[in-house]
Structure 1
Amino acid sequence: MILEEDPFGEDVHSACTLAEEKKLEECGGEFKFKGYARHIGLESVACNERRPCPPRVSLYARMGLHRYNWLKGRKFELSRVGRYVKTIGSAASTYYMTLYAMDMGGGGGGGASLPPETCFEIAVSEYSANCFILFCDIARIQGEEDQTKRRRKRMDTHLPEWPPVNPLYMVEKSEVQEHDEWIRLYVELAVAFDFPPRGGGDFEILDVAMDRNDEGLDAKNATFYISYRDLDDARLGKSCHRIATVRRSFDEDSGNFYLVGGSEFRTEGSSYMHRPLSI
């Protein structure tokens, strides 16, 4: 895969040194890079039992699989991340991941055996450091032809005000259960970018609402309000009712998939929203 453009027209994420390109080839990286830039480097990391994959990288891998499943109508679930290459030299990074997933929708296996692992190539980029503003422009099974057009529009980093001004549409409990994997992913991403930082946590999804109902949960451009109970805080006797707000966008022209989110929690007589800032 040749990277040619940054999201906003600057040739930043596109380049690496020739030495780094050689390093990638030697370590078996499936993504191909070209060019040269003194201020951008690449760090290649193999994930294994001795060096487990960082939790945030696993979340980014699941985000890429979510994009693939959502567009293709599949049910791949992450098995493991084999290797990732991270851009360095900037506070916000792009992660190029080679990972393995299993099709839980009947794509293989028989009887009680697990389906075989399928190798994916996924790229997820951070728009700004320590903010839940992410985009994914590559999510494919290894060997598939890349149809991405390498053109991206400027991202809208705003979230609607909380509480929302317009009426929301409540999602049926049965639909929430059916789409539990990506709904929980949205909450986990919001928690991952909380400030002060929090762990992965244990939580219970209570209700899901959205700002439109013409396309249901498959809407390509919609904002979701996910009410959940933080079980870790509940065990400590703390306020445990929280709401994750996540806006999902999809650019039909380029195939780019965006998630922008934040989390809100309530204390006695007040509330606090941690959300991305308009940039």
Structure 2
Amino acid sequence: MYDVMLDEANLWFHEYEPPLRRRKIEEAPPSPVEDLYFSDEEDMSPEEREKYRLQVVESCGFDVDFFKHTFNGIMPSGCCPYDTLFAKAGLHCYNLEKGKNLQFKTVVKVNAEIGSLYNSYSTSEVMDPVNNSLHTFQTLVTDAGKMNKARLILVTKICRLKPQVPGIGDANGRWDFDAIDDFYKGDMPDWPPNGACTKGDKLLQFYEVKESELRDNEWISLYAEAALFSEWHSDMSAYTPFEMKKVVVQTKEDVDSSMKLKSSNAIFYMTFKVREGPDCRGIVRKTSDGRTGHMRLEARCWIDK
């Protein structure tokens, strides 16, 4: 099991800011919040501490019981809209890496770790459309707050099917931020002037996604959802599916045009319409350090009245 606190320190070192929002818990934890944060007890007993440690190590934080005196540790939590979005993002990362098309069904449970950053350990039910089989999916995603004009930054660290044997599976949570190209660092881009994103503009490295590609890659709407969520911070189920109007990809990766859509490092410029709602423009910057289960999405959005 990797050191979560060290990973958070690395995020701080790379100038991340803590979330400015406060997470809304929709379901009560197994024990009153007052008991958790304001107990007169100074610490867990040695027996509780060892039990907690083993559960964290063996499950990578996904299957941890409620411990009354776990201050700022991993604990069971209700599922909020952040967790649902993060679970979808983790599954998307897994699908891209594994060449799969697993479909998100529902979040089964969430373990939360709330410190300088918010870590969501979610367990979800997903379906493989090849044979309609159901699977248990686990992902650890960090809400890295706001910075560089991004209104939402989510960082995936673990994306995996739940292993049959405890402690076995892809679980390398430490990011190598130095591996990200400087082109994708710094401030998020502003919305480009009319005509700046043109199809086939090799000089600016823009590629306009074809309508057929939009139909065949429904996951693109997840990026639009992340962009809109960065402004609304609410459940998106009432506003989806979106009508994707135009998507332009910008990437430095030297790949065929048809593969730019799935580049590990790219910037997506999207125009879309919310169901029974306004037209929107969103930018999502997607990056990865090349390690399994690692994807970062930075999002911003403009809502056109």
TM-score normalised by L of structure 1: 0.72
Determine which structure has the larger helix proportion and give its number: 2
1:161 equivalenced with 2:185 (yes/no):
no
- The structure with higher relative contact order (CA 8 Å, sep 6+) is 2
Separation in 1 of the partners of 2:141 and 2:128? 21
Separation in 1 of the partners of 2:80 and 2:120? 12
Separation in 2 of the partners of 1:25 and 1:116? 31
> In structure 2, what is the equivalent of residue 194 of structure 1?
231
SS at match of 2:84: helix
2:264 is aligned, of 220, 225, 230, to 220
Separation in 1 of the partners of 2:161 and 2:210? 32
Q: Shift of residue 65 of structure 1?
A: 0.4
Distance of aligned partners of 1:72 and 1:55 in 2 relative to their CA distance in 1, 3 Å threshold: same
SS at match of 1:245: strand
> In structure 1, what is the equivalent of residue 141 of structure 2?
124
Deviations 1:193-224 (A, max 9, x none): 205x5652243111111114743211111111
Q: Shift of residue 168 of structure 1?
A: 3.0
Number of residue equivalences = 237
Separation in 2 of the partners of 1:140 and 1:146? 6
What aligned pairs does 1:184-263 form with structure 2 within 5 A after superposition? 184-194=221-231, 200=236, 201-202=239-240, 203-212=242-251, 214=256, 215-233=259-277, 240-253=278-291, 256-263=294-301
Distance of aligned partners of 1:89 and 1:266 in 2 relative to their CA distance in 1, 3 Å threshold: same
Structure 1 unpaired stretches of 5+ = 12-16, 47-52, 109-114, 234-239, 268-279
Distance of aligned partners of 1:244 and 1:40 in 2 relative to their CA distance in 1, 3 Å threshold: same
What aligned pairs does 1:77-116 form with structure 2 within 5 A after superposition? 77-90=103-116, 92-104=117-129, 106=130, 108=131, 115-116=132-133
Separation in 1 of the partners of 2:286 and 2:176? 15
Q: Shift of residue 7 of structure 1?
A: 4.5
Residues 225 and 243, structure 1, Cα contact 8 Å, conserved in 2 = yes
Distance of aligned partners of 1:205 and 1:149 in 2 relative to their CA distance in 1, 3 Å threshold: closer
Distance of aligned partners of 1:83 and 1:147 in 2 relative to their CA distance in 1, 3 Å threshold: closer
SS at match of 1:71: helix
Q: Shift of residue 38 of structure 1?
A: 8.6
Q: Percent identity?
A: 26
Separation in 1 of the partners of 2:118 and 2:272? 29
Distance of aligned partners of 1:67 and 1:253 in 2 relative to their CA distance in 1, 3 Å threshold: closer
Separation in 2 of the partners of 1:225 and 1:136? 21
Separation in 2 of the partners of 1:125 and 1:117? 26
Q: Which amino acid aligns with 2:158?
A: I
Distance of aligned partners of 1:158 and 1:116 in 2 relative to their CA distance in 1, 3 Å threshold: same
Q: Shift of residue 228 of structure 1?
A: 0.6
Separation in 2 of the partners of 1:24 and 1:98? 19
Q: Shift of residue 184 of structure 1?
A: 1.2
Deviations 1:88-115 (A, max 9, x none): 244x3010112221112x1x3xxxxxx2
> In structure 1, what is the equivalent of residue 7 of structure 2?
6
Distance of aligned partners of 1:219 and 1:117 in 2 relative to their CA distance in 1, 3 Å threshold: same
Residues 91 and 159, structure 2, Cα contact 8 Å, conserved in 1 = yes
Structure 2 unpaired stretches of 5+ = 13-42, 197-203
Determine which structure has the larger strand proportion and give its number: 1
Separation in 2 of the partners of 1:60 and 1:221? 19
Separation in 2 of the partners of 1:22 and 1:217? 45
Residues 61 and 111, structure 2, Cα contact 8 Å, conserved in 1 = no
SS at match of 2:188: coil
> In structure 2, what is the equivalent of residue 111 of structure 1?
none
SS at match of 2:74: strand
Separation in 1 of the partners of 2:171 and 2:105? 25
